[in-house]
Amino acid sequence: MTLTVRTSRLDLAEATRLLDLVPTDRPVTWLRRGDGLVGWGVAAEVRTHGATRFADADKWWRETTAHADVRDEVNEPGTGPVAFGTFTFADEPGESVLVVPRVVVGRRGEVAWLTVVGDGPAPALEPAEPPAAPVGVSFADGALNGEQWMSVVADAVARISRADLEKVVLARDLVATADAPIDVRWPLRRLTDTYPMCWTFHVDGMFGATPEMLVRRERGLVTSRVLAGTIRRTGDDERDLALAATLARSSKDLEEHEYAVRSVADALEPHCSSMNVPEAPFVLHLPNVMHLATDVAGVVHDAATVSSLQLAEALHPSAAVGGTPTPVATALIAAIEGMDRDRYAGPVGWIDSSGDGEWGIALRSARLSGATVRLFAGCGIVADSDPEAELAEAQAKFVPVRDALTSD
């Protein structure tokens, strides 16, 4: 199969609010602060499974782009052929996907573009029919209720106290059911408006607004935003500033954060000729919570052979979503968490034909299927974690998607 790909420059006025352009035809999105990529239609896709899901998708992408007929007038990261992907957290069960939209509209600062795949005419870029609000949404516990999940957390704390491991990330799910199939563009609009500093994404039913960039590779530079250590906001600015200071001094949260930063730096180091790992984190303020955050950066020495997707595979799962030591932690997750994570906490993002791309971690996320939405939230458990406090943190992490499904 040979893809015909044409990228042309757009007037910024044609790409002022990207989501408004997106119809219901298999939409994909990757947006932050008004910039990013949206697309629709399917020109090509591959679905992969198991331990080789990343390698199989990357091989398919390399072969697909090698045979593509490309005319790119813009030559920015994200122009030309672009594939959007969402990958499962664990090797099994589940299905991962890499999809090439038929139409992509992108914006980076003062540059906007249109990419069309196929021989048909370029679409007229006009606002699509707006989405209808979800109707009759109700929420119920997923695999475990709150009491059951706190028992799992207590079990994990006991294992950490016995020195079986240092940290494990435990997640739980919540199931939302509506009276009719939900148009994913509705929660996407709510998330982009409420959480502009996060990366709002949707690929193949997996959507959310993640604050965590697993890896960005752009013209030889690689960056990763690590989040670990969380405190819920109160809505009172003075109180929240005091809480931010408490978070920045919390030995429990600083310990959890150090594990996560170390795991990312260790995974990136073999691919980088130089790296910058800040000594101390900063506090990232989001509307619902605050996180300890660190931006790790490096210069990639093997960009010609290692794509952003391969870097994402090397980083996944980091201590921020798995634990420390990671093999022990992920085995414990499979043994006691009590649910299938599916694509929750797996890499989600995009890759272009040069291998550049952005891959976030599918956090503050959910999986949409018709009228049912499965929401996910997770917490880092260390030796002095309190099950009730961790349950409250998980509830706070449900808020972005939960609120986005309402019609208020």
Query: Contacts from 89-94 at CB under 8 Å and sequence distance 24+?
Result: 89/317, 89/321, 89/341, 89/342, 89/343, 89/344, 89/345, 89/346, 90/330, 90/334, 90/341, 91/50, 91/51, 91/53, 92/49, 92/50, 93/340, 94/49, 94/340, 94/342, 94/343
The three-class DSSP label of residue 134 is coil
Catalytic residue, from 14, 59, 166, 212: name it.
212
- Is 167 designated active site? yes
Q: Does the active-site annotation cover 258?
A: no
Query: Which residue among 167, 255, 313, 358 is the active-site one?
Result: 167
Q: Confirm if 283 and 244 have CB atoms less than 8 A apart.
A: yes
Q: How many CB atoms lie within 10 A of CB 82?
A: 27
| Main-chain phi, psi angles of 126, to 5 degrees | -130, 155
CB-based burial, 266-285: b 16+ in 10 Å, e otherwise: ebbeebbeeeebeeebebbe
- Compute how many other C-beta atoms are within 10 angstroms of the C-beta atom of residue 292: 26
48 phi and psi, to 5 degrees? -125, 165
The residues that are catalytic are: 167, 212
